[in-house]
A and B are shown apart, each in its own frame.
Chain A
């Protein structure tokens, strides 16, 4: 009916709480002689966040493109929502992408469409959902990110932070179970970046969306990992520091020279004595 791909009962059970929705198994990729990724392995659990850190050119965004099937690995296996995607054709990938949302680095909003048309694009163009239902969903999503009154604006009329938030709204409009964020806060001031981080946290905690966050903004990475969204008794949403157990739903991966230099939780990353990690975190 338009929203994220329907699953069979057995797959739904198989991908229940605590199950991996995304698996990278010894994935390697090189462009000509340049090795981008080498033997990368990790899993993302339902409702958890994987935060991928690394210097520019370390292959962070490439991982997201591999998940989406925009690139194919030279070696290794990639599973998304119980389906092996590393050898799928473009046509087959379309079904897998129905359950994926992506927030691109600069938003990648369609500049000839309004904010509402951008947000509802997938539902308008790729589903048979009635138009009034799409309108309602667009309003709901824009309200969720606090940009309800901007629906008729063009992307060029928005600030950088607003564009990223609209990109998040577009990615979540079709209710995907996995969201991928590619440097969503790069180039934003700290206050605006926090509003984007809050949206990421809200989606994870209220919509149970599994996510991969690629960034080199440490402040945002730790903020997302160590905060959670709660609803107060008066119904107002609030972002508060997460308890230690909740913090473990966000796991860090540090990439270096195409490989994984670190994998663990925020506290472990902070406590690491590795010289490279220390330099990166300083």
Chain B
């Protein structure tokens, strides 16, 4: 494939790449919020909450993401038509967010548990409640330890988002497939790979910077 042809496909590829980034960022934000609650649930003294959160993580980490996507997109409407999620964006985001929440929950739990026990005891000795101690002392200290594994998860999610091409989402992988069938030539996968690499590089650099910044306080 010559360069001129590649340049004519560039806008389509970039549009696909934009959708890939939007998908990744939104699902990781929702995933992180849900993941935080799951992590706190796992650390909860209430056995039932702990079990429920454990079950969630077990389920979503233990089954393939592609299967979860198909389940949400195709199987839910078959179970009951009212469970049909509209369009392509919402089912894709939901599946990616639910899946990343399971991984992020374990990352957050590990980070919280790595904070010295004495911190919680000291906070309580100062008269803080469990919630106050978590919110003001423990969780803020875990940020720095969170950064490297969260960066990992973000990059993994960005790459995994290529799976949503299977449920009619037009993102970078899908656009690449379409162009490759049009050209009956697989060379277009190379520039697409470069785009993926560029996106993951942005995340890598940002997270390295963040890590350095937060290390100042340790």
Q: Do A and B come from one complex?
A: no
